[in-house]
Amino acid sequence: MSTNSEPQFAPRPQLSDDVARFVRRRIFDGTCRAGEYLRLDQLAADLGISVTPVREALLNLCSEGLLVQQPRRGFMVLELTARDVADVANVQAFIGGELAARAAGNISGEQLAELRSIQDELERAYLGGDLERTVRLNHEFHRLVNVVGDSPKLTQFMSGITRYAPESVFPTLSGWPKQSTKDHRRVIAALERGDGDAARSAMAEHFTGGVTPLTEHLVERGVIVAVDPDTKNAT
């Protein structure tokens, strides 16, 4: 079948997103280290796909600050810092908190029931150790809150910054499933009361509360260089 037909062309952006998600995960789990070069042809061969979606994915990761393109050498993985992790979380906290506050004034009983249902499923997925399902359900939880917040621009910004957060890492952090469950339940309770200030605080603290455990995890994996708290220099 011709690859120039419209049905074949349509899935390509999704394929490049899948490749970007794959490479992003390998960076955050320490498989691809800072200074390592990723070559288009090799990555395409490893994934069994053409070079085009791989190129699109790596260029997108360059725009996220995870890679830099070097002429004739490929795409180099850039160093990630603890400040990067904190900056992403702080932006998520500000935008996510505002969306949650707005959702508190908009949410319907049906939407609350849907949010509780998603959270119930998420907790069961945590107990079952189903990583992919926990990532998907966590995304659905936050997406519903953001949609109810009814601010397309803020939701768009939130979607953009979330790409910089290693969502697949959080369920593997010691104690995070329990903490995330507590945070989500606080958000639901605030939305049920229609308390915008409480919803904002609960959501913001949910994002910032993940900074320390995530940073420690990434240091242990060698993704982030450890910093001496006295000298502020890498050790």
Burial 169-180 (b: 16+ CB within 10 A, else e): bbbebeebbebb
Q: How far apart are CA 67 and CA 149, in angstroms?
A: 33
| Start-end of CATH 1.20.120.530 domains in the chain | 82-220
Backbone φ and ψ for 88, nearest 5 degrees, come out as: -60, -45
Q: Measured in Å, how far apart are the chain's first and last C-alpha atoms?
A: 55
Residue 205: closest CA among 223, 231, 185: 185
List, for residues 1-36, the tens digit of each pLDDT value. 334 443 333 344 588 888 988 998 888 888 888 899
CB atoms within 10 A of CB 22: 14
Instruction: Look at the alpha carbons of 208, 151, 145, 192 in this order and tell me if their dihedral is positive or negative.
Output: positive
| Start-end of CATH 1.10.10.10 domains in the chain | 6-77
Q: Is 115 in contact with 145 (CB distance < 8 Å)?
A: yes
Report the pLDDT value the prediction gives residue 115, as an integer from 0 to 100: 98
Q: How far apart are CA 36 and CA 197, in angstroms?
A: 45
Location of structure tokens 């260029």? 59
The residues near 126 (Cβ < 8 Å, ≥ 6 apart) are 134, 171, 177, 180, 181
Report the pLDDT value the prediction gives residue 172, as an integer from 0 to 100: 87
Report the pLDDT value the prediction gives residue 220, as an integer from 0 to 100: 87
Regarding the domain delimited by 6-77, which CATH topology (the fold level of the hierarchy) does it fall under? Arc Repressor Mutant, subunit A (1.10.10)
**Regions of the chain where pLDDT drops below 50:** 1-12, 228-235
**Cross-sheet strand order for the sheet of 67-70:** 37-38, 74-77, 67-70
CATH architecture of structural domain 82-220: Up-down Bundle (1.20)
